[in-house]
Chains A and B, each alone.
Chain A
Amino acid sequence: MNGATTLERIESFLPERSVRIDDVAESLGLRRAEVGVFRKIYGLDRLRFDPGTGLFDLVLPAARQALKALPEGRRIAYVIYAHTMQTLTPPHIDAAQVIREDLGLPDAEAFALTQQACVSSLGAIDLAGELLRAEAPEGAYALMVTGERAYSPKVQLIPNSAIMADAAAACLVTLDGPGDRVRSHVTRTLGEFAAGLDMTKEQTQGFGRVYGTVLGEVIHRAVREAGLRFDEIDLVIPHNVNLVSWRQTIKDMGADPARFFLDNVAHYSHTYASDVFVNYTTLRERERLVDGRHYVLVSVGLGATFGAMVITHRRRSA
């Protein structure tokens, strides 16, 4: 079956507990000057971080909220749990199955995607569309969910890059629905940085050197494949890694910084695969998303995959 992938409902969830980066500095082993760099240069300030929230308590609220947009009589064919860290639960617990069961979707096929780390969520939306086109009954839906906790200092600090935080999101996907239309999805993977968090200092520096250029190219390619020019893009809705990386990328692209929504970097920091959806819901609540205009969802996953998805927003009643 043909048809365009459409995003019928995007929801996000943030734990109430908000801390300053200074509050997690000791557990992360950050010296005062390092905290200063994260605050002043990287633009981080606060993050949501609640060690008392369980994984499923974090993931399920946004998923339940998104499911409310499922029309009567329609069914969810796939639940795709996109996350960054490969291991989030003990081996005997398959998180995707637990999410499916807790959502009351016994007929859905549930699985996880992690290989693209923090950009796995965009890949999961693309895959949901492909599966719906390839094999699902007409009118079926897929639910993409994200959400993982910064459960250990080892997965909370990306040295010289980011301080990870808690959040979750969900996206209800179908084909040719009235929601936001996916116009393109582009990824580029640089395998030489596959070691991710275990990269050597030289590899990390090499990654830093190519980051802005490659990310800019991926964004431009996604815009071209959507049949658009960059000046037709209303806003880039990015991941919240830090302001330095984005300043460099924006400079490399020769783009107007005002077209990049970076307000949430200081409020929420980088929430693994959830950022772009958290930022989308912030923009929607501010009534900043305009019917018929085009937006680029962008993220980068350690490992390293750069991803961009162009969507056309379509306003609909909540």
Chain B
Amino acid sequence: MERASVLSAIEQALTEVLERPVTGLTDDIRLFEDLHLDSTSILELLMALEDAVGISVDPEDLDMEDFRSVGSLTGYVLSQQATSEV
């Protein structure tokens, strides 16, 4: 999956979790400070992404560093996809 597709999936997942339309995301947007996610809604976002982009999140192996910004989250999703394709 390409980066642009992942970004689009993140927008859709955020729309579902935040219950408001989320569009026009850029890599530098911060999930906590700018989008006001918290540790709970981050998990919901991951669950929504699991279905959308075909990754499987390991709850015992989550690093909050991956969820600082849209860019780092996109990187996380792409790396999980690479792992699941191995």
Contacts and interface: CB of A to CB of B under 8 A. Distances in A.
Interface centre among A160, A205, A244 (most CB of B within 10 A): A160
B59 A33 contact: no
Nearest to A159: B40
Interface string A29-72: 00111101100110000000000000000000000000000000
B16 A33 contact: yes
Given A36-B50, A40-B50, A31 B57 contact: no
A34 B44 CA distance: 6
Contacts of B78: none
B44 A31 contact: yes
Interface residues of B, number: 16
A39 to B, nearest CB: 8
Interface in A140-186: 160
Nearest to B43: A37
Interface of A is mostly: helix
A247 interface: yes
Contacts of A37: 40, 43-44, 47
Contacts of A247: 60
Contacts of B51: 32, 36
A33 B57 contact: no
Contacts of A243: 59
B48 A33 contact: yes
Contact of B59 (A32, A205, A244): A244
Is chain B's binding surface mostly helix, strand, loop or mixed? helix
A31 B40 CA distance: 13
Interface residues of A, number: 13
Interface in A281-309: none
Contacts of B77: none
B53 to A, nearest CB: 14
B17 interface: yes
Nearest to B47: A36
B48 A160 contact: no
Contact of A40 (B19, B38, B40, B59): B59
- Residue with the highest number of chain A CB atoms closer than 10 Å, among B45, B47, B59: B47
Contact of A41 (B13, B17, B43, B48): B43
B80 to A, nearest CB: 14
A251 B70 CA distance: 29
Nearest to A243: B59
Interface in B30-57: 38, 40, 43-45, 47-48, 50-51, 57
19 contacts: A31-B16, A32-B16, A32-B47, A32-B51, A33-B16, A33-B17, A33-B44, A33-B48, A34-B44, A36-B47, A36-B51, A37-B40, A37-B47, A40-B47, A40-B50, A40-B59, A41-B59, A244-B59, A247-B60
Given A31-B16, A36-B51, 9 more contacts: A31-B44, A32-B51, A33-B47, A37-B40, A37-B43, A37-B47, A40-B57, A40-B59, A41-B59
Interface of A: 31-34, 36-37, 40-41, 160, 205, 243-244, 247
Interface of B: 13, 16-17, 19, 38, 40, 43-45, 47-48, 50-51, 57, 59-60
Closest 3 CB pairs of A and B: A36-B47, A33-B44, A33-B48
